[in-house]
Amino acid sequence: MEQPFRIPVALSARHVHLSQEHVEALFGAGHRLTPWRDLSQPGQFACTETVEVVGPKGSLRGVRVLGPARDATQAELSITDGFVIGVNLPVRLSGNTVGTPGGFLIGPKGAVQIDEGFICAARHIHLHSKDADVTGLQHGQRVLARAVSGRKVMFEDVIVRVSPDFRTEMHVDLDEGNAAGVRDGDLVDVVEAICGLCANEACPIREDVTVTGQRPYCDFTQSGVQFR
At position 13, the amino acid (one-letter code) is A
The alpha carbons of the chain give a radius of gyration, in whole angstroms, of 20
* 84 lies in some domain: yes
Mean pLDDT for 75-104 is 97
Average pLDDT for residues 196-205, to the nearest whole number? Answer: 57
pLDDT at position 3 is 77
Better-predicted residue by pLDDT, 115 or 225: 115
Q: Are residue 115 and residue 138 in the same domain, yes or no?
A: no
Mean pLDDT rounded to a whole number for the chain: 89
The residues near 148 (Cβ < 8 Å, ≥ 6 apart) are 6, 186, 187, 188, 189
What's the pTM? 0.84
Which of 71, 93, 121 is at the close of a domain?
121
Asked, for residue 5, whether it belongs to a domain, the answer is no
Domain boundary among 94, 121, 148: 121
Domain end residue (candidates: 121, 138, 171): 121
Q: What is the phi-psi region of residue 140: left when phi exceeds 0, alpha when psi lies from -120 to 50, beta otherwise?
A: left
Q: Is the pLDDT of residue 44 over 70?
A: yes
- List all residues 6 or more positions away from 104 whose beta carbon is below 8 Å from its beta carbon: 53, 54, 55, 111, 112, 113, 114
pLDDT at 193: 76
Report the CATH number at residue 190: 2.40.40.20
Q: Tell me, what's the pLDDT at 228?
A: 46
pLDDT, residue 4, reads 85
Of all residues in the chain, the percent with pLDDT exceeding 90 is 81
**Higher model confidence: residue 30 or residue 195?**
30
C-alpha 91: how far from its chain's center?
10
Residue 158 sits in the same domain as residue 197: yes
Number of folded domains in the chain? 2
**What is the pLDDT, as a whole number, of residue 114?**
98
Domain boundaries, position 74: 13-121
| Whether residue 21 sits in one domain with residue 117 | yes
Residue 4 falls within a domain, yes or no?
Answer: no
Q: Does residue 197 register a pLDDT over 80?
A: no
Angle at 67 between CA 66 and CA 72, to 5 degrees: 90
Checking if the pLDDT of 59 tops 60, the result is yes
